[in-house]
Amino acid sequence: MAAAMVGEGTGYADLTYTVKLNSEEYGVGFRKGSDLAAALNDFLAASYADGSMEECAETYGVQAALIEQ
């Protein structure tokens, strides 16, 4: 199958996104009463505010998945 994906005429210039195959959501959990949840929330808010979260997302091409804070 890999051999069919390389070579002349396999640029797929007309390839389009038509179907969303799945949607995944992730979470982070901490022990009840832990102060780590607040620390993580603070970190995420700060990294969004200073633009470093968007910079990191752009590195991996997932900036469209960011949720505005």
Asked if the model's pLDDT at residue 1 lies above 90, the reply is no
What pLDDT does 23 receive? 75
**Beta carbons within 8 Å of 4's beta carbon, 6+ residues apart:** 10
What pLDDT does 18 receive? 65
What would the two tokens of residue 20 be?
Answer: 């969303």
Asked if the model's pLDDT at residue 50 lies above 80, the reply is yes
Asked if the model's pLDDT at residue 21 lies above 70, the reply is no
Instruction: Tell me the pLDDT tens digit for each residue of 23-45.
Output: 777 888 999 999 999 999 999 99
Model confidence at 49, pLDDT cuts 50, 70, 90, reads very high
